[in-house]
Amino acid sequence: QKEVEQNSGPLSVPEGAIASLNCTYSDRGSQSFFWYRQYSGKSPELIMSIYSNGDKEDGRFTAQLNKASQYVSLLIRDSQPSDSATYLCAVNSNNLFFGTGTRLTVIP
Amino acid sequence: EAGVTQFPSHSVIEKGQTVTLRCDPISGHDNLYWYRRVMGKEIKFLLHFVKESKQDESGMPNNRFLAERTGGTYSTLKVQPAELEDSGVYFCASSHWDRMVTGELFFGEGSRLTVL
């Protein structure tokens, strides 16, 4: 069983819509959760971190965590073409485990 | 502030040859990590240095892989002899000591290795 599961996509949304990216993890003891964004051919970049149940908002990004369901998500409001990238979910479980990433395309 | 730099950006070698990848972390970052992404798979941990010491090398696939960080600055990852399954993108990342558990890693752009 993979530590971190994500739908690989691709996920396409029109400009201005809400993009919803989902992730589940296997280690119930995990305490910290992260979303990285990776543009094609570039380095992964940390965009959000969340440590407690509930929502955490940063600009157009909202991370949501539900430890009981072992589920973490990322919402991108008012999606822009510049948001088109691969989004990697990462979970700290004595080490940092990544999902395979979801490729998001925002259509102008 | 310069980011994490990796060299080469792409290397194409034949099976059985040797390749050495280099990573220069952000200045002052004691923690240095190597990760690998095989096509279609997730980014997987290889090993972690704290300064010049190997903190965790549990992700190293086999003894064909050798990582060093002499002097606690840049690091090298040598693959000898390379096999076809070693193809992938090798990422280096660094972080401050007190951010080791926060997931706030700064990644390089990766070194793509193709073994023919």
Tens digit of each residue's pLDDT (9 = 90 or more) over A34-76: 999 999 989 999 999 999 999 999 999 999 999 999 999 999 9
Q: What pLDDT shows up at residue B99?
A: 53
Collect all residues of chain A within an 8 Å Cβ-Cβ radius of residue B3: 43
* C-beta separation of B116 from B10 below 8 A: no
H or E element that contains B75: strand B75-79
pLDDT over 70 at B98, yes or no: no
Give pLDDT, residue B1.
64
| Contact criterion met (CB < 8 Å) for B42 and A2 | yes
Q: Does residue A90 belong to the interface with chain B, where contact is any CB pair within 8 Å?
A: yes
Q: Decide if A44 and B4 are in contact by the 8 Å CB cutoff.
A: no
- pLDDT for B46: 94
- Inform me whether the C-beta atom of residue B107 falls under 8 Å from chain A C-beta atoms: yes
Residue B100 has pLDDT above 60, yes or no: no
DSSP H helices, B1-116, are: none
A8: closest chain B residue by CA: B40
Give the pLDDT band of residue A9 (cuts 50, 70, 90): confident
* Ramachandran quadrant class, B71 (left: phi over 0; alpha: psi -120 to 50; beta: rest): left
> In the predicted model, what is the mean pLDDT of residues B38-45?
90
Average pLDDT, chain A: 93
What is the greatest pairwise CA distance in chain B? 41
